[in-house]
Amino acid sequence: MLRYPDEERSSISNLEDMMIRTPKGSTIPIRQIAQLNIGEGFLR
């Protein structure tokens, strides 16, 4: 699990723009491979 700073998680569009590395080593925005939704999380 990875947690980004609050300011980078303030909107779905910010999260969709996060870059991830593919197995081949290139980088793509996460929106190309996932659909993100706001929902309830777990409290620790």
Q: Give yes or no for residue 10 having a pLDDT over 70.
A: yes
Residue 15 domain-assigned (yes or no)? yes
What local confidence, expressed as pLDDT, does residue 26 receive?
A: 97
> Can you tell me whether residue 14 is helix, strand or coil?
helix
Residue 3 domain-assigned (yes or no)? yes
Alpha carbons 36 and 27: distance in angstroms, whole number: 18
Domain housing 30: 1-35
Segment 17-39 shows an average pLDDT of 92
Residue 40 domain-assigned (yes or no)? no
Alpha carbons 44 and 27: distance in angstroms, whole number: 32
- How many domains in the chain? 1
The answer to whether the beta carbons of residues 18 and 29 sit under 8 Å apart is yes
Residue 21 domain-assigned (yes or no)? yes
Segment 4-27 shows an average pLDDT of 88
Residue 8 domain-assigned (yes or no)? yes
pLDDT band for position 23 (cuts 50, 70, 90): very high
Residue 43 domain-assigned (yes or no)? no
Please provide the average confidence, as pLDDT, over all residues in the chain: 87
Token pair, residue 18, equals 């996060």
Residue 42 domain-assigned (yes or no)? no
Q: Give yes or no for residue 24 having a pLDDT over 90.
A: yes
Residue 18 domain-assigned (yes or no)? yes
